[in-house]
Amino acid sequence: MQDAPTTDARLALDLALTLRHDGHGGVADDLTDLAGLAAWVRSHPQTAPDADGFVADEETLTAVRELRAAVRALFARAVRPGEPSPADAARLLPAPEALRSLNTAAARTPTVPVLHWDEGAEPVVRHQAAGTGEQLVAVLARAAIGFLAGPDRRRLRACHAPRCVRYFLKEHPRQEWCEPSCGNRARVARHHARHHKGG
């Protein structure tokens, strides 16, 4: 078993996984509207100060979606020589453009370290900045940079089960799919293909 993914890896993957299979052969997007972004941020409290009360605006939604496109393009590059996620294969940003977009997003807002030290706990440093929308995009971009430059990147794979569009971190040498349900779908599809080919 591999070590648990870093916080950066988890956050970058969670952003990429806002595009997922919808269970009907299509792709679902959790970030289609302001409510979707607000719900996603609330479920990821490390992304913004007062995340539980986060209110999205169109500019932030557009910036996060553009960042996600860059992250998924760089994920596709990271899984080479393997194939990218089927959701990305036909519409990947060129790598130089994705890198530029990621780095620009990471620089959107300067942050300062702020020490938090609750009684009876170890001190913790959090980076804070003004401007919630700007900070959200910068935090996500910096997490993606940390992940792509870190050791977890080598474990990144695209799931190629039928209808799946997810990326995942390989936890053990024999793992081929993001979830057991994807493995089941892949085995059923192979079985079906074998029996129909011979019949």
Q: Report residue 168 as tokens.
A: 């995942």
What percent of the chain has pLDDT above 90?
47
- Flag whether pLDDT at 95 surpasses 70: yes
Encode pLDDT of 29-40 as tens digits.
Answer: 999 999 999 999
Q: What is the mean pLDDT of the chain?
A: 87
pLDDT at 48: 81
pLDDT at 17: 94
CA distance 140 to 82: 25
CA distance 94 to 138: 21
What percent of the chain has pLDDT above 70?
90
- Flag whether pLDDT at 182 surpasses 90: no
pLDDT at 147: 95
Encode pLDDT of 74-89 as tens digits.
Answer: 999 999 998 898 877 7
CA atoms within 13 A on the CB side of 93: 19
Comparing C-alpha atoms, which of 29, 2, 6 is closest to residue 166? 29
**Cβ atoms 160, 83 nearer than 8 A:** yes
CA distance 169 to 44: 19
Q: What is the pTM of this model?
A: 0.82
